[in-house]
Structure 1
Amino acid sequence: AAAAIADYLPQRTARKSPERLRRLLLPSGDGRLHWHWDPRMLTPIAEDGARHQADLLAAATRIRVPTLLISGAASDVVSESTINEFLALVPHARHAIVPRATHMVAGDENSQFNGLVLDFLASLPGV
């Protein structure tokens, strides 16, 4: 399992220990291990999200709090056009790109993610 994950996510420098992997892999009836969530679950979420797209876009225009969008440069979920659309709707938002991260930025580059969040929080008035 560790080798398969390393092949799939070569940009991740940190590797999970066998103990941590055990919590993420579930045995199936045939004795094989499967990831703890099924990526096929994203299909109905995406379909349902499309139905709510207009409401989501309108809600984004009402965001008034300081906002930081962190994205992974190698994300296969969030595109540059989606990021640009969000930034147009929330013009006060800041955007940070983590070069070696996929969509799971905190999992791929946890220290860099934490640093970006802490720097953002420290930049806020009164913090």
Structure 2
Amino acid sequence: MLGVEIVLHRQYYLLCCLKNSLLICVVGQLFEMTLYLLNQWKNQPGGAQNASAFLLALKSEHSSMREKELIIEVLDDWDVLTPTWFEVADYLSVIEGLHEDEHFKQRYLAALLASKVAFCLGDYNGA
């Protein structure tokens, strides 16, 4: 592979690479890419580690609500949260904000995730 370029535009991505003098381009939805990356991250050898990219996506205005819902769903799993809760704790206000957003379909799951993080922080009353 000689070169790879990813172009992001709204809800779509264009991935182009040059291989053996052949230009290969793939167009897809960012949602599909997020789902793929979440699954790869969650199932990597040694388990989920370093959640910062997904946490930044939760905070980003460029991430779709569906992408944020996927991220909340994955982070709510104890197998994912146990090794990453200390990172997730830094984004507790973002997660609580998603819970307060009435248009966020996974708002109750966001509340549950916030509760789990509070528990990990030792805030048993807040959990």
* Higher strand residue share: 2
Provide the TM-score with structure 2 as the length reference: 0.30
TM value normalised by structure 1: 0.30
Whose RCO is larger (CA < 8 A, sep 6+)?
1
Larger radius of gyration: 1
